[in-house]
Amino acid sequence: MVTIYEVAAKAGVSPATVSRVFNGMPVSAEKVDLVRAASDELRYSPNKTARRLRNQTSEIVALLIPDIENPFFTALARGVEDALQAAGYSVVLCNTDDDPDKETHYLDIANSENMAGVILAPVAEDGDIRRLTDRGRPVVAIDRQTGLNIDSVMVDNPAAGIAATSALLDAGYTKIACIAGPVVLEDTEGRALGWRKVVTQRTGAPPLEAYLQHANYRVDGGRLAMQALLALPEPPDAVVSTNNLMAVGAIQVLSEAGLVPPDFGVAVVGDLPFATLPPRAITQVHLPARHLGTTAANMLLERIGGDDQPARTVVLRAQITKSSTPVSAR
């Protein structure tokens, strides 16, 4: 590992001068040439660890998401990465698995690694985010709220739930169920709230309690929930899934039962990026996953740049594709 001292020796200058050359501080043209020549010859590249120790910061940002195998979060991650990459930062991706302990663990790492900032989809209400913010490290919450007063980027969840449910009602379905996430997580609650509200308003009565199923956010959760719905004495004729993977599970169960959409109405809050069904069979309320990521990244960059205006919350709207075939047309 070639150090700044070796470059300095070869160029016949002091290490300080070499450092100045690399950081754009004023150095005479003559010495700049000497240093450049020496460092090229030795293939010098600065040791980031040493620089970080001295500067107390690095060009690395941590991104904490619950599940890297969920396409929603990978799209979001791409957005974050693209924006930060362009600004010269690197991104470290961390899976929290919706586990508060893992979240704490990674926040500790971000702290002790002197990372420039953190973007996270919070699990715990008030994790150990304070540890970061107390040291002046910016933190941006994404997709989910925290109890803290920090920047955040959200989706308008009730509106998304309303849009998904309305589309099914418009298409002529009458008995609309909902597969929502774990009770503890608030974002899916917002979507389920939208569902309940629309059903109540437009049918004149609140939905059956059994029509609201709680599941984990994964494919198997969707499967179990859909099976439970189909086993009801009065099964629904359509379902709203509050996330993408649960919808996949639900559709799998429906296909296996011979109820291929649109014979059974399906609307999903989120995208099915690898869906192999004809696109018009299912109503998707597209979530701006990538945009969520770029927005959060840019907010973080502003904070890293020293911006200290009061905390902001940006709410992005989901965009509906109204494509369910109306019942009458079947």
Partner DNA sequence: AGACCCGAAGAAATCGGTTTCGTCAAGGTG
Partner DNA sequence: CACCTTGACGAAACCGATTTCTTCGGGTCT
Residues near a copy of itself (CB under 8 A): 1, 45-50, 52-53, 56, 58, 68-69, 71, 74-75, 77-78, 81, 90-95, 108-109, 111-114, 135, 219, 245, 248, 251-252, 255-256, 272-279
Q: How far is the CB of 67 from a copy of itself (least distance, A)?
A: 9
- CB of 174 or CB of 227, closer to a copy of itself: 227
- CB of 22 or CB of 106, closer to DNA: 22
φ, ψ dihedrals at 319, nearest 5°: -120, 120
Q: How far apart are CA 175 and CA 300, in angstroms?
A: 44
Q: How far is the CB of 269 from a copy of itself (least distance, A)?
A: 16
Q: How far is the CB of 36 from a copy of itself (least distance, A)?
A: 18
Q: How far is the CB of 33 from a copy of itself (least distance, A)?
A: 24
- CB of 44 or CB of 217, closer to DNA: 44
Q: Are strands 117-120 and 283-286 parallel, antiparallel or unpaired?
A: unpaired
Contacts of residue 240, Cβ cutoff 8 Å, sequence gap at least 6: 161, 164, 165, 168, 176, 177, 178, 179, 191, 195, 267, 268, 269
90 interface partner picked from DNA, a copy of itself, none, CB below 5 to 8 A per type: a copy of itself
Helices 4-11 and 29-42, axial angle in degrees (round to 10): 120
User: Residue 196 burial (CB < 10 Å; 0-12/13-18/19+)?
Assistant: buried
272 interface partner picked from a copy of itself, DNA, none, CB below 5 to 8 A per type: a copy of itself
Detail the DSSP E strand segments found in the chain. Answer: 60-65, 90-95, 117-120, 139-142, 152-155, 176-180, 212-214, 238-241, 265-269, 283-286, 313-316, 319-321
- CB of 81 or CB of 187, closer to a copy of itself: 81
Q: How far is the CB of 210 from DNA (least distance, A)?
A: 55
Q: How far apart are CA 24 and CA 142, in angstroms?
A: 36
36 interface partner picked from a copy of itself, DNA, none, CB below 5 to 8 A per type: none
C-alpha distance across the termini of the chain, in Å: 70
Q: State the residues that interact with DNA by CB under 7 A.
A: 1-5, 13-17, 19-20, 22-23, 26-28, 30-31, 44, 46-47, 50-51, 53-56
3-state secondary structure of 123: coil
Rounded to 5 degrees, what angle do the CA atoms 130, 89, 294 make?
Answer: 75
Q: How far is the CB of 283 from a copy of itself (least distance, A)?
A: 14
- CB of 111 or CB of 325, closer to DNA: 111
Q: Select from 181, 312, 171, 168 the least CA-distant residue to 240.
A: 168
17 interface partner picked from DNA, a copy of itself, none, CB below 5 to 8 A per type: DNA
68 interface partner picked from a copy of itself, DNA, none, CB below 5 to 8 A per type: a copy of itself
- CB of 11 or CB of 77, closer to DNA: 11
Q: How far is the CB of 316 from a copy of itself (least distance, A)?
A: 20
Distance of alpha carbon 46 from the chain centroid: 33
